[in-house]
Amino acid sequence: QHIACIFDLDGVLVDTAVYHYQAWKQLANSLGFDFAHAQNEQLKGISRMHSLDKILKWGGVEKSEAEKEALATLKNSWYVAMISKMTEAEVLPGSLKLLQDLKDQGIKIALGSASKNSGLILERTNLAHFFDAIVDGNTVSASKPDPEVFVKAAELLGALNKDCVVFEDAQAGVQAAIAAGMAIVGIGNAENLQGAQLVINDLSEITIAEISALKK
Ligand code: G6P
Ligand code: MG
């Protein structure tokens, strides 16, 4: 049986979700409002512009397209300043071992992320060499929950959708993987990952045998 693994980046392999949250919060505060940590769940997995649209709505603020471009650029400049200082220490527990085990067993590995900053993050955390294919915010046109990112990743790996297992920390990502007909391992709180076959706290809690068993 030929399984292939597709990993989301932010919140699955690396601890960047907290930086996205800090930068968006700073932007909202600069516009005179705030949003709750619980609302941040809704920003996970979706593109920069979709995140901004949601946040402006929460604040009851309307902006022109040009102003939105400028705000998204500002948020990203703060975010990039944070991730530029990342180190290997910010790779989440279990990520390195699982990626290495998969590689040792010849199982193909792809990245399926909405981020346009994935290159910088993979470089800073020294993870880039694990990937046989990288699909991110620079290569997809439709944002999760659209399945495009995972379908493209499977294509690049030469794998059938049904043979792929997706690792996701966002509800939008779980929906995208369901739409692609793939198996899903959720990372985090089951409440926010409805439809995942299995939910774990981090990648240290799963083995290749358990991943393969999901495909029956
Ligand atoms: C990931 C994160 C989202 C983020 C998106 C775009 O999916 O979970 O919170 O909005 O990437 O990231 P970017 O780095 O391109 O702004
Ligand atoms: Mg994520």
Query: What digits encode the pLDDT tens for the residues 16-31?
Result: 989 999 999 999 999 9
**Encoding tokens for residue 213?**
């068993």
Residue nearest to atom 7 of ligand 1 (CA): 45
Site to probe by mutation for ligand 1, drawn from 24, 53, 75, 115 as the one with most ligand atoms within 8 Å of Cβ, is: 115
**Encoding tokens for residue 75?**
């948020």
* Predicted local distance difference test score (pLDDT) of residue 172: 96
CA distance 68 to 90: 30
Residue in the structure block whose two tokens are 């369901």? 178
According to the annotation, is 47 in a ligand binding site?
A: yes
In this model, does residue 215 exceed pLDDT 90? no
Residues 152-163: pLDDT tens digits? 999 999 999 999
Site to probe by mutation for ligand 1, drawn from 12, 19, 20 as the one with most ligand atoms within 8 Å of Cβ, is: 20
Provide residues with CB under 6 Å of ligand 1: 10, 20, 43-48, 51, 76, 113-117, 137, 170
According to the annotation, is 43 in a ligand binding site?
A: yes
Tell how far the Cα of 192 is from the centroid of ligand 1, in angstroms.
17
Tell how far the Cα of 83 is from the centroid of ligand 1, in angstroms.
12
Q: Are strands 164-168 and 133-135 parallel, antiparallel or unpaired?
A: unpaired
CA distance 198 to 23: 31
Question: What pTM was computed for the model?
Answer: 0.96
CA distance 170 to 152: 19
User: Catalytic residues, which ones?
Assistant: 8, 10
Q: Residue 129 phi/psi, 5° resolution?
A: -65, -15
Q: How many CB atoms lie within 10 A of CB 136?
A: 21
Mean pLDDT of all residues in 105-122: 98
* Predicted local distance difference test score (pLDDT) of residue 178: 98
CA distance 17 to 41: 10
CA distance 174 to 147: 10
Residues 176-186: pLDDT tens digits? 999 999 999 99
Residue nearest to atom 16 of ligand 1 (CA): 48
By CB atoms closer than 10 A (0-12, 13-18, 19+), residue 155 is: middle
Q: Which atom of ligand 1 is nearest the CA belonging to 117?
A: 14
Please answer whether residues 94 and 202 qualify as being in contact, where contact means their C-beta atoms are separated by less than 8 angstroms: yes
CA distance 205 to 198: 11
Cα distances (Å, whole numbers) of residue 134 to 8, 139, 186: 10, 9, 20
Nearest partner of 130 among 96, 82, 180, 158, judged by Cα: 96
Q: How many CB atoms lie within 10 A of CB 109?
A: 19
Residues 4-61: pLDDT tens digits? 999 999 999 999 989 999 999 999 999 999 999 999 999 999 999 999 999 999 999 9
In this model, does residue 2 exceed pLDDT 90? no
Tell how far the Cα of 1 is from the centroid of ligand 1, in angstroms.
33
CA distance 170 to 145: 10
Distance of CA 7 to the CA centre of its chain: 7
